[in-house]
Amino acid sequence: SSELTQDPAVSVALGQTVRITCQGDSLRSYYATWYQQKPGQAPILVIYAKDNRPSGIPDRFSGSSSGNTASLTITGAQAEDEADYYCYSRDSSGDHMVFGGGTKLTVL
């Protein structure tokens, strides 16, 4: 099991808002990064340093953090947002990196 805990699956109706969460003790000290991965493709960076979006990532993606929980919010989910989402940060020792187990997002 990962030191960063994610819900295995989440669903959202087209156009609605969804929040994907990542929990872990290390998140009190280290910001989470979020990746989107579609089948057969390499992961794509969507959020870094808590709430920063790389160029080319739609502004419907946003990040936040509170206590031991980081969140990725998609406001107005689109069909193309259906994918696996992974959080990434330091482990609880602070010495190594770790991914969350991933959340499969289904857009209904």
The Cα 52–Cα 54 span in angstroms is 7
* 89 part of the interface to another protein, by CB under 8 A: yes
**Does 76 engage in binding with another protein (CB under 8 A)?**
no
Nearer to another protein by C-beta: 45 or 73? Answer: 45
Token pair 């699956």 in the structure block, residue = 9
Contacts of 81 (CB under 8 A, 6+ apart): 36, 60, 74, 105, 107
Query: Which one among 49, 56, 66, 79 touches another protein, defined by CB under 8 A?
Result: 49
State the residue for tokens 């969460």.
21
Verify binding: residue 61, another protein, rule CB under 8 A: no
37 binds another protein (CB under 8 A): yes
Q: Is 85 in the site for another protein (CB under 8 A)?
A: no
**Hey, what are 25's tokens?**
């003790």
Q: Is 29 among the residues that bind another protein (CB under 8 A)?
A: yes
Instruction: Identify the DSSP state of 25.
Output: G
* SS3 (DSSP) at 81: helix
User: Is the CB of 45 or the CB of 76 nearer to another protein?
Assistant: 45
Residues of this chain that bind another protein (CB under 8 A): 2, 29-31, 33, 35, 37, 42-45, 48-50, 54, 84, 86, 88-90, 95-102
